[in-house]
Amino acid sequence: MSPLPEAELVRSSVQLYRYLLRCCRRLPQGPIQQHYRHAIRQSFKVHADEDDPERIQQIIKRAIQDADWVMNK
């Protein structure tokens, strides 16, 4: 099960970015939320120049799995 029901609809990097930030809003306020928001921004910047569609889909799939893990812990 994904953290939010819209996970199946994520197809692009911008959609992933917005989805992950929405997931962050469900975390407790304070340092935990700030940490994950910062990590999401940094990861987006690191992968901004990625142009291989297959690699982008791998990144999206892994990010959703990671978000699921974080939300369930």
**CB of 36 closer than 8 Å to CB of 24:** yes
Query: What is the domain count for the chain?
Result: 1
Torsion sign over Cα 9, 11, 15, 20 = positive
Q: Is 1 part of any domain?
A: no
Q: Which domain holds residue 27?
A: 7-72
Comparison of pLDDT for 19 and 4, the residue scoring more: 19
pLDDT in tens, 11-68: 888 899 999 999 999 999 999 999 999 999 999 999 989 999 999 999 999 999 999 8
**Cα 68 to Cα 66: distance, rounded to the nearest angstrom:** 5
**Cα 51 to Cα 27: distance, rounded to the nearest angstrom:** 31
Q: Is 2 part of any domain?
A: no
Global model pTM greater than 0.85: no
Instruction: Using DSSP, state whether 11 is helix, strand or coil.
Output: coil
